[in-house]
Structure 1
Amino acid sequence: MTTPHPTETTTDLGFGLHHVLIPLPPGGEDACRAFYVDVLGFVEVPKPPALAARGGLWVRADDLELHLGVEEGFVPQRKAHPGILVREIDVLAERIIAAGHELVWDENLPGYRRFHLFDNNGNRLEFLSPSGE
């Protein structure tokens, strides 16, 4: 079961982000665990029984929850991606490289240091951290 994420809002509706779904191919759960749990350090959280039967997995780290959902006819998301904030971007980059993954730094977003990479199923991810500029 998931827990609410506290957020500050500026609207009268109280928007917040509960999770982001990233697609994976049927049978791609182990590749997801190898990347999101073993490399990035997320923790797998139990899915409700009615949803667990669909496959996939849910992972969480700090205030971020990702739902990795099985998609028939899966096509990796090479453009669409979540932009994930991280406090220790250099530490994360070193961890990813040490695990054998490639990443590409991109300095084109003023005020942020960021890089892009692809997970074990070919989905694009962006990690960014305020640069203090």
Structure 2
Amino acid sequence: MITQLHHVQLAMPVGQEHLAIRFYSNLLGLDIEPKPDVLAKRGGVWFRLGEVRVHLGAEEPFVPAKKAHPAFLCHDLDVLAQTLKSAKFHVHWDEKLSGFKRFYTADPFGNRIEFLRPAT
């Protein structure tokens, strides 16, 4: 039986790890998690913050996930939204999920990412 989600895997273009690090580590605050040597040869980069894990795998040809996406619970959405806007990432607020405040953005590769918190 499933007990929890271990990680989310997203695709990224080959050789673009620096852009993944800028977004997921520098802007979102996730730590880089070392990949096992056998997997590191494939490219990509892994991130972790507590129990939240995001793996970016290099894929060729690359196609971004426009609909499927991870959704991250956050403490201060307004600060995060401003951080992303300042870094030139588009922020799209959405009020369609009752009981939550949320927005969407796209990572540097066009993968859809959702951020939300319970409404007060």
Query: C-alpha separation between the residues in 1 aligned to 2:29 and 2:40?
Result: 22
Instruction: Give 1:63 shift.
Output: 2.3
TM-score (norm: length of structure 1): 0.85
Could you list the per-position Cα deviations for residues 2-24 of structure 1 after superposition, in whole angstroms to 9, with x for gaps in the alignment? xxxxxxxxxxx352001000100
Distance, in Å, in 2 between the alignment partners of 1:63 and 1:99 is 26
Equivalent in the alignment of 1:122: 110
Matched, 1:25 2:17: no
With structure 2 as the length reference, what TM-score do the two structures score? 0.94
**Alpha-carbon deviation of 1:117?**
0.6
SS at match of 1:114: strand
Q: Percent of aligned positions with the same letter in both sequences? A: 45
1:44-59 equivalence runs, <5 A: 44-59=32-47
1:104 pairs with 2:84 = no
Q: What displacement does 1:70 show?
A: 0.8
**4+ residue runs of structure 1 moved beyond 3 angstroms?**
none
Specify every segment of 5 or more residues in structure 2 that has no aligned partner in the other structure, as ranges: none
Map residues 81-92 of structure 1 onto 2, 5 A cutoff: 81-92=69-80
User: 1:80: which partner in 2?
Assistant: 68
Q: CA RMSD in A?
A: 1.1
- Distance in 2, Cα, partners of 1:131 & 1:62: 23
Q: Deviations over 1:63-82 (max 9, x none)?
A: 21100001121111111111
Gaps in structure 1 of 5+ consecutive residues: 1-12
What is the distance in 1 between the residues matched to 2:84 and 2:66? Answer: 18
Structure 1 residue identity aligned to 2:36: P
Q: How many aligned positions are there?
A: 120
- Whichever of the two has the greater Rg, that structure is 1
